[in-house]
Structure 1
């Protein structure tokens, strides 16, 4: 079982660990954000087209029985 540390020691350890983090630059953050929006747009378009195609196919199958 882990030993308990006091809050002051914990905050010191957190500060030490946060100092080790390599933070992205503003440019890297902007580029990553733009890429996320582009991929979301592609995924939304693909899913919309797939949904329409499946709906058309199901509709064609259902109306074939009439």
Structure 2
């Protein structure tokens, strides 16, 4: 493996850093809004699933205690 001198390394880093394309302010806001919408929907979905299964478990436990 060839060794890279510190100067070559810094030049390579500068070259790669110049290729970075930052999102626009509008793209950042749109992405933020989409993330908030998706996390809210997933939160509601998992809340519903948790409530559903919690109800089933409570019902099954009430059956088990009524028998004993």
Shorter-chain TM band: 0.7 to 0.9
Unaligned runs of 5+ in 1: none
User: Aligned residue for 1:31?
Assistant: 30
1: CA distance, partners of 2:3 / 2:28: 37
User: Aligned residue for 2:40?
Assistant: 41
Count, aligned residues: 65
1:55-66 → structure 2 map (5 Å cutoff): 55-65=54-64, 66=66
TM-score, length-scaled by structure 1: 0.83
In our comparison, the structure showing a higher alpha carbon Rg is 2
Unaligned runs of 5+ in 2: none
The CA RMSD measured in Å over matched residues stands at 1.3
2: CA distance, partners of 1:37 / 1:6: 45
With 41-50 and 8-17 compared, the bigger mean Cα shift is at: 8-17
